[in-house]
Structure 1
């Protein structure tokens, strides 16, 4: 198993937000995490990727315990993530946004980014990442001048620039219309060939189309897990209307 979380619990003050969360993801899988608003999905995501430390439980990646490591340290292990609220350098070009996320800059610090401006190999690699996410020809365009859907694609490109083994996506369809969501689904499907991916998502059709496995979180607990076909007929999913949303 490439990624495992066992017995994760998290509270904020007196409020228990996660209780005994257990998840596992095999290499090459696309795993989805879904549930109603306020279910604890985002907190779970933040615990899995190091933004929050769990009060109890353990997270392992490629057999190594990464519980409680800072996001930067987790990224060095080979895990990248995107955010529901995009984190881009708006005044910089799409190419520069990708360059700053490359392993060289991560190792050497932000000042190394300036040296990459004259590094044709690094620029070629960044351009290849942009082409992969559908932004060929937009290399010199400032991030703030891209469309919303293009900015979503750029953020995924920034995550890919770190050359991860595993990619976490937080609400990637947020703010996208039907056309943008369809393009994003095609992009994620193409990434799935080379990466292990975990997605938190409110768009159930998007998840049910792409995921190999799904976990349903409610009131901070995993209450159901299985394939999309299995969960489509799950009693709780049907009662909660998530099944209808995924039809």
Structure 2
């Protein structure tokens, strides 16, 4: 059985139909990708899967539990974390503080966390270990806004990892990165893939095909192809599209 599964998802905004009968399944211990052209419905699909939008029709399950329509906070508590295409960080706080507030042990303290964190060396050590995991050792006291763009991308992943997820969703993680930053991110994701189930929406097909075990192509709000990177390269529709050109570049 798949760790995460969506069946027959549909979503519209007013008269605009964005998703039509979308079904996806993500296997535990694998890296799955979602790709497609701009406006295909990828981000809306991602938001439905992670609880930002409730589907108009269809179901979503995680680890055998129906999570359809649950708010993001409840889905996160079940073991699902995500990053965002537009980074969502506390810019005026340190890298360490950004990770600290995402730790389950800190969240359980509620609004008293800021007063008590200075004395919680265990939480600080745990947050520092998460930063080291994404290559930000030594950057603990640097303000988020003082990090380079690539480091901020790594920090956002660290914040997602701090929640101790079983499944990690990454939304366009290479957005804004140059070739060197993309290569560093690929190395990081390849390492995380050894420990987590990961789902990535990504416009950089070379990045996605380098890492993914399976990829689904969304176009016109529907899944029009799925398979391994090799199978998709051989898919006639993908070959005829600009997606195919990118995938084979």
Superposition TM-score tier, normalisation by shorter sequence: over 0.9
How big is the shift at 1:118? 1.5
1:245 corresponds in structure 2 to 246
1:3 corresponds in structure 2 to 4
How big is the shift at 1:238? 1.1
Q: Secondary structure at the match of 1:180?
A: helix
2:94 corresponds in structure 1 to 93
TM-score, length of structure 1 as denominator length: 0.98
Distance in 2 of aligned mates of 1:163 and 1:231: 32
Distance in 1 of aligned mates of 2:110 and 2:12: 34
Unaligned runs of 5+ in 2: none
TM-score, length of structure 2 as denominator length: 0.97
Unaligned runs of 5+ in 1: none
Deviation digits for residues 37-77 of structure 1 (CA, Å, limit 9, x no counterpart):
00000000000000000000000000000000000000000
Alignment map for 1:1-247 (pairs within 5 Å): 1-247=2-248
Q: Secondary structure at the match of 2:23?
A: strand
Q: Secondary structure at the match of 2:119?
A: coil
Distance in 2 of aligned mates of 1:228 and 1:147: 31
Check conservation: 1:83, 1:170, Cα contact below 8 A. yes
Deviation digits for residues 173-216 of structure 1 (CA, Å, limit 9, x no counterpart):
00000000000000000000110000000000000000000000
After superposing on structure 2, the runs of 4+ consecutive aligned residues of structure 1 that deviate more than 6 Å are none
Q: Secondary structure at the match of 1:33?
A: strand
Superposition CA RMSD, Å: 0.8
Distance in 2 of aligned mates of 1:114 and 1:63: 38
Distance in 2 of aligned mates of 1:234 and 1:45: 24
Distance in 1 of aligned mates of 2:83 and 2:60: 19
Q: Secondary structure at the match of 1:111?
A: helix
Check conservation: 2:29, 2:195, Cα contact below 8 A. yes
Q: Secondary structure at the match of 2:108?
A: helix
